[in-house]
Structure 1
Amino acid sequence: MWISRNRRFRGSVWVRSLVVVVSLGLILTACGGSDSEAAASNEATTVVEGGGASTALTPATFRLDWIITGEHTHFYAALEQGFFEEEGLDVEILEGGGSALALQQVANKDDDFGLAGFDALAASRAEGLPATMVANIFRRSPHVVLSLAETGIESPADLEGKTVGGAAGSSPTTMFNAFLEAADVDADAVEMVNLDAASYIPALLEGRIDAFVGFAPSQYPILLASTPEPPNVLYYADSGVVTVSTGVVVHPDTIEERPEVVGGFVRAVQRGLQWTLDNQEEAVEMMTARFPRSVEAEEAALAVEQVGVLAFGERTADAPIGWMSEEDAQQTLETLQKYADLGEIEPLENYYTNEFIDEDL
Structure 2
Amino acid sequence: MTLQPVRTLRAAVSATASLAVPVTLFAATLTAHAGTPFTLITNWYAQAEHGGFYEAQAEGLYSKAGLDVTLRMGGPQVNSTQLLAAGQAQCVITDDIGTMSARAHGVPMELVATSFQHDPTVLIAHDDVPDIKALRTRTILASSAAYSSWWPWAKVTLGFKDDQVRPYTFNIQPFIAGPNVAQQGYLTSEPYSLSKVGAKFKVFPLGDAGYPPYGNAIACRTDVIEQHPDQVAAFVKASAQGWKDYLAHPEAGDAAIRKDNPDMTQDQLDYAVKALNASGLVEGGDAKTHGIGVITAERLKASWTMAVNGGLVDPKQVALDQFYTTRFVDRDPVLP
Which interval holds the TM-score relative to the shorter structure? 0.7 to 0.9
Name the residue aligned to 1:262.
232
- Decide whether the 8 Å contact of 2:96 with 2:214 is kept in 1: yes
- Taking the aligned partners of 1:28 and 1:181, their CA distance within structure 2 comes to 24
5 Å-filtered alignment, 1:55-70, equals: 56-70=34-48
1:232 to 183, 202, 210: 202
Contact 1:144 1:235 in 2 (8 A): yes
The counterpart of 2:299, out of the listed 328, 344, 355, is 328
**Aligned 8 A contact 2:11 2:81 in 1:** no
Following superposition of structure 1 onto structure 2, how do residues 185-204 of structure 1 map, counting pairs within 5 Å? 185-188=158-161, 192-199=164-171, 201-204=172-175
CA distance in 2, matches of 1:329, 1:28: 18
The CA deviation string for residues 320-352 of structure 1, in whole angstroms up to 9 with x for no partner, is: 111111110000111111225211164444211
SS in 1 for 2:53: helix
1:262 offset after TM fit, Å? 1.1
* CA deviation after TM superposition for structure 1 residue 111, in Å: 1.2
Q: What are the superposed Cα offsets for residues 212-254 of structure 1, whole Å, 9 maximum, x if unpaired?
A: 12322333333333x3145310112222222223211111110
Could you tell me how far 1:360 is from its partner in structure 2?
3.2
Match of 2:17 in 1: none
1:58-137 equivalences under 5 Å are 58-97=36-75, 101-137=79-115
Aligned to 1:163: 139
In structure 2, the CA distance between the partners of 1:350 and 1:307, relative to structure 1 (3 Å rule), is farther
User: Is 1:143–1:214's contact at 8 Å kept on the other side of the alignment?
Assistant: yes
Question: Following TM superposition, by how much is the alpha carbon of 1:354 offset from its aligned partner in structure 2, in angstroms?
Answer: 2.1
- In 1, distance between residues paired with 2:86 and 2:257? 33
Where in structure 2 are the equivalents of 1:12-27 lying within 5 Å? 14=1, 18=3, 20-21=4-5, 24=7, 26=9
Q: Distance in 1 between matches of 2:165 and 2:130?
A: 20
State the shift of 1:186 in Å.
3.7
What is the aligned-residue identity percentage? 21
- Indicate how the Cα distance of structure 1 residues 230 and 57 shifts in structure 2: closer, same or farther if over 3 A, else same: farther
Equivalent residue for 1:341, pick from 312, 326, 329: 312
Could you tell me how far apart the structure 2 residues matched to 1:261 and 1:28 are?
Answer: 23
Say yes or no: does 1:223 pair with 2:180. Answer: no
Which position in structure 2 is the counterpart of 1:46? none
Between 1 and 2, higher relative CO (CA 8 Å, sep ≥ 6) is seen in 2
| More displaced stretch, 267-276 vs 290-299 | 290-299
Partner of 1:34: none
CA distance in 1, matches of 2:320, 2:133: 35
Aligned residue number for residue 299 of structure 1: 268
- Mapped to 1, the partners of 2:194 and 2:253 lie a distance apart of 19
SS in 2 for 1:170: helix
CA shift, 1:261, in A, is: 1.3
SS in 2 for 1:187: coil
Show CA shifts across 1:14-36 (max 9, x none). Answer: 56xx2x22x5455789xxxxxxx
1:37 maps to: none
Q: For residues 302 and 241 of structure 1, do their structure 2 counterparts lie closer, same or farther at Cα, with a shift above 3 Å needed? A: same
Q: Is the 8 A contact 1:24 1:197 kept in 2?
A: no
Change in Cα spacing, 1:57 to 1:195, as seen in structure 2 (3 Å) is same
- Structure 2: state its 5+ residue gaps: 13-32
Give the conservation status (yes or no) of the 8 Å contact 1:288–1:296: no
The question of whether the paired residues in 1 share the 8 Å contact of 2:111 and 2:325 is answered with yes
**Aligned 8 A contact 1:73 1:284 in 2:** yes
Mean Cα deviation higher: 162-171 or 94-103: 94-103
Structure 1 unaligned spans of 5+: 1-13, 30-54
In 2: Cα distance, 1:284 partner to 1:120 partner? 27
- One-letter code aligned to 1:169: A
The RMSD of aligned alpha carbons is 2.9
Amino acid across the alignment from 1:96: G
Asked if the contact 1:137–1:247 (Cα under 8 Å) also holds between the matched residues in 2, the reply is yes
What's the secondary structure of 1:197's corresponding residue?
coil
SS in 1 for 2:62: helix
Deviates more, 1:320-329 or 1:306-315: 306-315
Distance 2:58 2:11 in 1: 29
Call closer, same or farther: CA 1:162–1:191 in 2, change over 3 Å: farther
Q: Number of paired residues?
A: 310
